[in-house]
Chains A and B, each alone.
Chain A
């Protein structure tokens, strides 16, 4: 018997200066493998985790940004980006990686995983979760 809970991972750190982003991604993938209802939110500097065109060759660290593209295959299909945080950094949705998933209920149609939501919309979504993890 298993209980499915709604888990949300909230990311508010840039990717390479600290280990938070990479650790979050690892935990998200583990949670998803246990068939929980997993979503992610990117706010504040967490937005920078999703920027296109990351290249870590010159800093000797693993570029883990391609891993975000695998989230859809792990049924992590709800990725919320806070509009206010995006705009505060002079960014738009086009500046972020294009993350998609295949909707098995609609003949595996490819759909966008990222949804840009306002602070108040995100506050409502957070209140619907069973567990919140901050990174």
Chain B
């Protein structure tokens, strides 16, 4: 019984990612999309909350949204997986439910 959480807001603009991580259970997956992809960057004020949560949560980021924003994959926190739209669909089907944090 696992949940895919999607986050579409930047963690330095809104507390969406923090709310998600406060309420996501171990074994969940988090996919960062749209402005949510800024949450996957290393060396930011908010990188630590992702790094801490990585112990029991898997992190993904949508590649198209990274490219659109000029973010290279070597700027991402180690362990964040880049997926394409097909990967997004796979994540949605592999989990029991999807929670779209806004």
Contact = CB atoms under 8 A, between A and B. Distances in A.
Dominant secondary structure of chain B at its interface with chain A: mixed
A117 to B, nearest CB: 11
Interface residues of A, number: 18
A12 B20 CA distance: 11
Given A43-B23, A126-B3, A134 B15 contact: no
B97 A130 contact: yes
Given A123-B23, A127-B3, 18 more contacts: A10-B99, A12-B19, A20-B102, A43-B23, A84-B22, A123-B24, A123-B25, A124-B25, A126-B99, A127-B1, A127-B25, A129-B97, A132-B3, A132-B97, A132-B99, A134-B99, A134-B101, A135-B102
Interface of B: 1, 3, 15, 19, 22-25, 97-102
